[in-house]
Chains A and B, each alone.
Chain A
Amino acid sequence: MISIELQFLVAGIIFIIGLIGLMVRRNIIFMLMSMEIMMNAAGMAFLCAASQWFQADGQVMFLFILSIAATEIAIALALVILMYKHFKTVDTKKLNSIQ
């Protein structure tokens, strides 16, 4: 049996890796990938708690996180394609002008 502390430690490490990627990378596709990793780690934390206390509520929360992630990525990638059409770049540092 894995202790709950170790499970949350793994979830936290993966979440922080995603956070670092979100802060460091400038390419918007990589930023979205990091966001997906962070959402995945959050869902993993819910599932760890669910398996610790033998409750199915955590899996229900994981399902909600799953639907939110799918919706978010559909809209975000549509926005990325629009951004590429308008600015011809995927670099977020070049989006600093208000037109």
Chain B
Amino acid sequence: MNILFVISAVIAVFSSAMTISRRNAVHALLFMVLSFLAMSMIFYSLGAAYAAILEVIVYAGTIIMFFVFTVMFLNMSVSPEDEKMQTGWKTWVVPTLLGLLLLIGFCISFFTGAEEYIVVKQISAKEVGKLLYTKYVLGVELAGFLLLTGVVGAYYLGRENKRNVHRYLQNIEN
């Protein structure tokens, strides 16, 4: 039995369930980071180290950053009870302990040869890159178009509406 996979899977399921059941958005985001880190450990234990690194960078880095920006922008936690809940130690101690458990598992498997923890063959980034630029090159181009669409769409939706007012009317408004 691969103990690393089991621990990571339990933590991933638990933190996903906590993510959808929290009332405060910031607490849910904490558990969501933990869920992504646990998922990354699952990928590592399955022999997909490249995907694990990308999971940490893209999901736990970029997407969480988007969410944090939006939650801060909308200022969703306004009631004083939420303020009190945010400063308590109970909010961060569970995600931190579980994250430490993941880190310990990763260190043990990484520094002790990892043979008894990761039994399957590793698929290296080299194989993925070769396949990406030969067989799936059309898909890569489509993904590039998709990202361009995302940039243009997010800019279009997020732009400020400029009000064009004549000088004369501006003077009257002031």
Q: Do A and B bind each other?
A: yes
Q: Chain A residues near B19: list those with CB within 8 A.
A: 21, 33-34, 37
Q: Is the interface of A mostly helix, strand, loop or mixed?
A: helix
The answer to whether A70 touches B147, judged by C-beta atoms less than 8 angstroms apart, is yes
Interface residues of A in 40-87 (CB under 8 A from B): 40, 43-44, 47-48, 50-51, 54-57, 59-60, 62-64, 66-75, 77-82, 84
Q: Chain B residues in contact with chain A, CB under 8 A?
A: 1-2, 5-6, 9, 12-13, 16-17, 19-20, 25, 28-29, 32, 35-36, 39, 42-43, 45-48, 50-51, 54-55, 58-59, 62-63, 66-67, 69-71, 73-74, 76, 119-121, 123, 127-128, 130-132, 135-136, 139, 143, 146-147, 149-151, 153-154, 157-158
Can you give 30 A-B contacts (C-beta < 8 A)?
Answer: A1-B119, A2-B1, A10-B9, A17-B17, A17-B20, A18-B16, A21-B20, A30-B28, A33-B29, A36-B32, A36-B59, A40-B36, A40-B39, A40-B55, A40-B59, A43-B51, A44-B39, A44-B42, A51-B48, A54-B121, A59-B50, A59-B128, A60-B128, A60-B139, A66-B55, A66-B58, A67-B146, A69-B58, A70-B147, A75-B153
Number of A-B contacts (CB under 8 A): 167
A32 to B147, CA, bound (A): 19
Nearest-Cβ distance from residue A17 to partner chain B, whole angstroms: 5
Q: Chain B residues near A77: list those with CB within 8 A.
A: 66-67, 69-70
The answer to whether A79 touches B157, judged by C-beta atoms less than 8 angstroms apart, is yes
Known: A21-B20, A30-B25. A47 touches B51 (CB 8 A): yes
